[in-house]
Every structure is written in C-alpha cells, then in structure tokens.
Amino acid sequence: MKNWKESFHPYAMITTVCWSLAYVLTRIALRHFSVFSLGFLRYFIASLTLFLIAVMTKIALPKRSDLKWFVAAGTAGFFLYMIFFNKGCETVTSSTSSILIATVPVMTALLARVIMGELLNGYQWAAILLEFTGVILLTLTDSIIMVNKGVLWLILAAVSLSIYNLLQRKLTKAYSALQTSAFSIFSGTIMLSIFSPIALKEVQAAPASMMASVLILGIFSSAVAYVAWSQALSKAEKISSVSNYMFITPFLASLLGFVLAGEKPESSTITGGAVILSGMIIFYFGEKIWTRAFHK
C-alpha cells in the first residue's frame, strides 16, 4: 500500500465523514429552508469558500475545450443532485437517505466497468455484494422498504452522483483536485442561482441555528468534501476503490443522526454497519488476507 501521504484513503475518509454529516444537517435545515433555496445556499457558500482559496493559490482557469465537462459535472453533481437529494430528504430520515445514496458505489463500479473498462477482482465484487447486503440489513426495520416519492428522488440523486464520479475521474487526469471541484461547483452554483430570490427571503427570517447548519453544509460537506473527493479520485488507481467508501455513510449518518438530531438508531444499524465494515476490509485487504491465510 502507498504511504499515507500518497494514499487516497485519508481523502476518501474526510469526504465520507463530511457527507455523513450532510444527511443529518440537511434534514435539520429543511425545517426552515425550502429544498431549492437550501441547494443554492449550500453551494453558494461552497463557491465563496473555494473562490477565496482559488484567488489565494492563483489556480489556472480550465481550457475552453474542457468547459463542457465542467458544466456536465456541475449539472450532474450539484444542480440535479442537490434538487433530487433535498427533495428525497423531505420525506425520509437521514439514515434512510444515506442508505439509498450508498447504492452509488455499485452504480459507479458498473459504469466504470462499461465506460472506462475498469476491472475489479472477484473478491472485490464479493466485497461490494457483502457491503450492499449490509445496506439492506440497515433497512430491515426502516420505512425504506415502502416505495414512496422520497425514495424515487434519492435513486435519481444516486444516478446523478455516479455520473459525477466518472466525470471527476476524467477531469482529475488533466486538472488538480482543487480545479476540478472548484470549477464544477462554480458551474452548478450558477445553475442553482435561479433559486436565489426565494433563498434571500428565507435567509432574512432564518434563526441562527439554521444558518449555522447551512454554513457547515457549504464549507465542510461541500467545499472541503468535494476537494478531498477529487483528490482521492486523482490518487486512486481505480474509481471504484474511492466510491466504495460511500458504503460506510449509512452507518455514520445513523450515529450522527442520533447525536445531532435525536434519531434513535435501530438494532439493525449496528448489524448492518458491522457487515459493511467487514465488506470494506475484504475489498481493500482481501488479497493480503487470502495470501497470508493460504500461502504461508
């Protein structure tokens, strides 16, 4: 394994924690903000944060020929994803929403196989199956079993994020993590600005606690998370190695939902979380485990 500094793991871990927090804070913020205004505010704050960093670090502008890819990434990863994700969070719990988004690694692995020709070992596919089984266990006592509008919105969000992962993988081959995430977010924020009038009205009446949630969403769950994610994608040999980290978000979101929003986790949360963690160990260390066990 690469040394810690050159590895994609720490960056993927940072993103996973930040995104797990987003599931909880989104449900809290939606008590005051509408779906569309929250989407704009979150990425407007992220854009301001990244713009300041971009100015200080003097990052280069993208080539004109690549603008279409940044627009595509902004459309899939921020404009469409934010609308779908926030609409879904209106009617489901933070743990449920994270469970549905946890299907992204499966979709990403399949798309990477078909479009980019990325191959996974047999034990890695087995690990993905085990991790997805853990996701199913997390749903056993949850209303996610019932198909409703919230579930359908979140499935669309998962598809959008899977497409975004592939676009970021393409862009990180030519641009830095800061460039790819910043210009993609700028693009998405411009699209989301159509919701700025209603957002301004809601901000004026928002209590401090709600604004604090939005600030955390914008700075940490967006700006920091997506830069770290792009960095992870740029360092990993396979896109699936990074997207696999998303399986852990349901478990983390359930724990954070309990701590921050009082959403009591079910017993299935612990069981499903343990299965997901086992699958992650097999995905990343399966070859070493097999070698040590049977080829001493």
Q: Which sequence spans correspond to the domains of the chain?
A: 9-120+145-258
Buried b (16+ CB within 10 A) or exposed e, 212-226: ebbebbbbbbbbbbb
- Distance from C-alpha of 83 to C-alpha of 76, rounded to nearest angstrom: 10
pLDDT value, residue 144:
44
Residue in the structure block whose two tokens are 């009446």 = 205
Amino acid 126: pLDDT? 83
The rounded average pLDDT for each run of 10 residues, N- to C-terminus, in the chain (296 residues) is: 73 90 84 90 96 93 95 95 82 69 82 81 80 73 56 88 92 93 96 95 93 94 93 89 82 73 64 78 71 57
Give start and end residues of each alpha helix (H) in 75-142: 81-89, 94-101, 104-111, 122-139
Asked if residues 179 and 20 have their Cβ atoms less than 8 Å apart, the reply is no
CB 130 within 8 A of CB 246: no
The reported pLDDT for the residue numbered 92 is: 76
- The whole-number pLDDT of residue 207 equals 93
Q: How many CA atoms lie within 13 A of 2 on its CB side?
A: 11
Q: Is 284 exposed, middle or buried (0-12, 13-18, 19+ CB in 10 A)?
A: middle
The greatest distance separating any two alpha carbons of the chain, rounded to the nearest whole angstrom, comes to 67
Closest to 100 in 3D by CA, of 192, 162, 40, 43: 162
pLDDT at position 261 is 60
pLDDT of residue 145: 47
Residue-level pLDDT at 143:
47
Q: What is the per-residue pLDDT for 43?
A: 94
Selection from 161, 185, 175 nearest residue 49 by Cα: 185
- Note the pLDDT of residue 26: 84
